[in-house]
Structure 1
Amino acid sequence: MTWFDRCIVFCGVGFGSGLSPKAPGTFGSAFALLFTPLWLYLGFNLSVFAITIMSVIGIYICGHTAKVIDVHDDGRIVWDEFAGQSITLLPLLYVQQLNWLWVIVGFIFFRIFDIWKPFPISWADQKVSGGLGIMLDDIIAGLWAALCIFILHFYILT
């Protein structure tokens, strides 16, 4: 493996967070919560921009990591969880109501959708290949979780 491949794989496995022997996706999602202070600092608009860049770059990172380790959407690849978990928090950033209770609720919603994979998450997981396929199901799971946060926070609790 070249130095470049090692760097990309290190990113793909979430800086090591995806190497957990049990539940690597959950560990990767939990590690992604460490980005929360950055999203708070950047604010909503810059966070949307940064998460979009993270997702676009993630297509390459996940695809290349899968190619190097020779397994499509291996559980150890968690860069996609970074993007999906970050998307989940966007409604809270929008209204600047981000507290750790809501972060945990967002984490739970994201993990439920990422594991359960209702339509169209299941479609993306099964039908889209390569780095885009690895990223797309988690991006959709993040959007579904964000929608749940939005509904719960803005329509039920207010």
Structure 2
Amino acid sequence: MSMTREQRQAVLSHPAGWIASGFGSGLAPLAPGTVGSAAALLPYLLLRELPLWAYLGITLATFVLGVWVSRIVVARTRLEDPGFIVIDEFVGQWLALAFAPAGWIWILVGFLLFRLFDVWKPWPVSWADRAVDGGLGVMLDDALAGVLASALLALAAWGWGAS
């Protein structure tokens, strides 16, 4: 479903819309979730240099910010969990990579695992997607997909002896 001109204006005319859309990355005409996940890798490259407590603190703060801005955008556009909101992809991607070993291959694997769980929506991701509405609903399913991806990535890294 494409955005109407009025909905696009409602998103771009408010700071919450810019934040929720990943500073415009979610407005990509094709695969906005994938584009948003890829855009999340840029700040990840800076975040990964932080101590784990700071990394997770920023991720949590972004989750809380995401709930707030998503609620505003949903109200302004009258669309429940529109695809152009990708701040949830940022949080999910950062969670997926939180414990990733160093190296581009692990970033790629974490990226792909997060996208797989975000699209496939295994339990509990599917539960959150169906049962939780509003800004929290927008954010929670992707956060859970990120946690699942992180767990599988950690298991794969352990299996390959990566640290």
TM-score, structure 1 normalization:
0.92
Contact 2:11 2:77 in 1 (8 A): no
Report the more deviating stretch, 35-44 or 97-106: 35-44
Partner of 1:122: 126
Q: Give the Cα separation in 1 of the matches to 2:121 and 2:63.
A: 19
Q: Which runs of 5+ in 1 are unaligned?
A: none
Matched with 2:84 is: 76
Q: Note the aligned Cα RMSD (angstroms).
A: 1.7
Partner residue in 2 for 1:10: 18
Amino acid corresponding to residue 119 of structure 1 in structure 2: W
TM-score, normalization: structure 2? 0.89
What CA distance in whole angstroms lies between the structure 1 residues aligned with 2:12 and 2:105?
Answer: 39
State how many pairs are aligned.
Answer: 153
The verdict on how the C-alpha distance between 1:3 and 1:111 changes in structure 2, with shifts beyond 3 A counting, is closer
Q: Which runs of 5+ in 2 are unaligned?
A: 1-8
Instruction: Check the 8 A contact 1:5/1:68 in 2, yes or no.
Output: no
Identical positions, percent: 39
Match of 1:62 among 64, 70, 76: 70
CA-to-aligned-CA distance 1:115-149 (integer Å, 9 cap, x gap)? 00011101100110000000000000000000011
* 1:27-74 superposed Cα distances (whole Å, 9 cap, x missing partner): 000000001222122121210111011111111111111111110100
**C-alpha separation between the residues in 2 aligned to 1:3 and 1:67?**
10
Q: Which runs of 4+ in 1 moved over 2 A?
A: 1-5
